[in-house]
Structure 1
Amino acid sequence: MRARALLAALVLALLPATLATAQDEEVVLGLSQNRVAINANFDGSEILIFGAVKRDAVPILPALDVIVTVAGPNEPLKVMRKERRAGIWVNTDQVTIRQAPSFYAVSTTQPLSQILTQTEDLRHRISIPRAIRSITSGDDVLDEDNFVNALIRLREQQGTYLMQEKAVRLDEQTLFNTRVALPSNLTEGVYRVDVYLLREGRVITSYETALRVGKVGLEQWLYALAHEQALAYALLAIFIAVISGWAASEVFRLIRNQ
């Protein structure tokens, strides 16, 4: 009886410490750059994501894991299946995806399936398939997952969807960092950076910050002119074409006269 009482007292003594460790852990995050500038020479970039786990007590088992995601602006799109009929490739079935990130990268300390349960993935939408939302299709389409997988494969080939397992370095259960490569074909807008802390497959806390991607300099001015003042942009294009044609003809005339 006395042994049971001592065991119960020990459990009660450890329980608050466990809860405090799980609830009082916070993320302090930093980025190597908060803005990615797209200019005429832009051929991609890389960001360093680093941070620390702030806590009030010494970490206890089970071990901590970290997942870092970078998501670009969502965009709607259609994924179509092509079939060869009578020697011609035609579109047959299609699936409409209302929200798919234009860029998505997942970096982890361990293989994703080992540190994140399906329930937590469904709740937080961390994995690449879960980040793709609102799928609608016709009644005759029974394999929606195949369309989603085809989209993921295509964007992985383009470098806009990245799965980087064991790419997050975690030191002493406190300091972490990872690098994410950004391709040259980035969509402009606000990119969301999320950091998830996990224990035993469950997300115990998360932190979110923003990364801005946009054109700068002459590219930004021309883009804004084309979309906000289409007539002025058209007149400018005509003027440049006329001047270029005249300059070329003058150069050829001078060459012939020599």
Structure 2
Amino acid sequence: MLRLIAALCLVALPAFAVEEQVVLGLSQDRVAITADFNGSEILIFGAVKREAPIPEGDPLEVIVAVSGPSEPVLVRRKEKKFGIWVNTDSVLVDSAPSFYAVATSAPFKEAITDTEDLRHRVSIERAIRSVGAAMHIRGAQSFANAVVRIRENARLYSIRENTVAVDEQTLFRTSIEMPADLTEGEYSARIFLTRGGMVVSDFTTSIDVRKVGLERILYTMSRQQPILYGLMSLAIAIAAGWGASAAFRLIRNN
């Protein structure tokens, strides 16, 4: 009898649990950095796949987070001593994304709880890791905050609330602006579906950002053949200086 009841419970469970999954689309999954590159805008759109009717209760919210390659950042504190500014303390922020943008369909605090934010590292502050600060350094967390402030001013970090459009709790879309000074590498795009601030589904895809053409050749040469790159840069500078001088003499003589 107990086995029969357990079997009936297992059969009944899918009727109450509505699984929601992301079906995603991107306007482009590759960004080419060229000589006249002045930024890019990526349209992120998708739908929610369900095997049952839309659940009642809390509405569906969507969060989109796009992050660039992460790397350590050395942050220094400057203080004025004897009338001059000098470097004092320094902290190595273990990992900070070169670019980070978050778009939400509701105010951030309503779209996701603090516990879920800590678990998935969605907010800008949670996306940065700084665990190696020495105990004697005062205000160690302020160094990580400085990275956020500087990169927000440079438009590399941003949280854009209420910019994800959600139609009928099924279709969603938003656009992410990417600035001109992008770091080359693989970018991650994460999409979270939440209800009542709790993540019910998430999906991750990648966007490839690469230099192309002459920029790619010069970048590769500067990394793999630095001596040749330096000599070529010197030759171009000498030629440009000589050309400008010759043009100036020609104009003066005429």
Same fold (TM over 0.5): yes
Distance in 2 between residues matched to 1:134 and 1:188, nearest whole Å: 23
Q: Structure 1 residue aligned with 2:23, among 6, 20, 28?
A: 28
Deviations 1:69-114 (A, max 9, x none): 0000001012222222221212222221111001001111111111
Q: Does structure 1 residue 63 correspond to structure 2 residue 59?
A: yes
- Helix, strand or coil at the partner of 2:216: helix
> Is 2:130–2:144's contact at 8 Å kept on the other side of the alignment?
no
> Is 1:18–1:60's contact at 8 Å kept on the other side of the alignment?
no
Relative to structure 1, the CA distance from residue 85 to residue 246 in structure 2 (aligned partners, 3 Å threshold; closer, same or farther) is closer
Q: Does structure 1 residue 208 correspond to structure 2 residue 166?
A: no
Distance in 2 between residues matched to 1:256 and 1:147, nearest whole Å: 55
* Counterpart position of 1:138: 134
Relative to structure 1, the CA distance from residue 111 to residue 252 in structure 2 (aligned partners, 3 Å threshold; closer, same or farther) is closer
Relative to structure 1, the CA distance from residue 14 to residue 111 in structure 2 (aligned partners, 3 Å threshold; closer, same or farther) is farther
Q: Does structure 1 residue 93 correspond to structure 2 residue 89?
A: yes
* Counterpart position of 2:174: 178
Distance in 2 between residues matched to 1:89 and 1:246, nearest whole Å: 40
Distance in 1 between residues matched to 2:170 and 2:13, nearest whole Å: 22
Distance in 2 between residues matched to 1:195 and 1:251, nearest whole Å: 57
Relative to structure 1, the CA distance from residue 13 to residue 242 in structure 2 (aligned partners, 3 Å threshold; closer, same or farther) is closer
Alignment of 1:111-126 (within 5 A): 111-126=107-122
* Counterpart position of 2:45: 50
* Counterpart position of 1:74: 70
Alignment of 1:135-174 (within 5 A): 135-174=131-170
Superposition CA RMSD, Å: 2.2
Report the alpha carbon displacement of residue 135 of structure 1 after superposing the two structures with TM: 2.6
Letter in 2 for 1:132: I
Q: Structure 2 residue aligned with 1:226, among 222, 225, 228?
A: 222
The sequence identity of aligned pairs, in percent, is 52
Report the alpha carbon displacement of residue 63 of structure 1 after superposing the two structures with TM: 1.5
TM-score (normalizing by structure 1): 0.87
Aligned length: 245
Report the alpha carbon displacement of residue 142 of structure 1 after superposing the two structures with TM: 4.0
Q: Which runs of 5+ in 1 are unaligned?
A: 1-11
Distance in 1 between residues matched to 2:34 and 2:90, nearest whole Å: 35
* Counterpart position of 1:18: 16
Q: Which runs of 5+ in 2 are unaligned?
A: 1-9
Letter in 1 for 2:16: T
Deviations 1:169-207 (A, max 9, x none): 100001001111111111111000000111111111111
TM-score (normalizing by structure 2): 0.88
- Helix, strand or coil at the partner of 2:131: strand
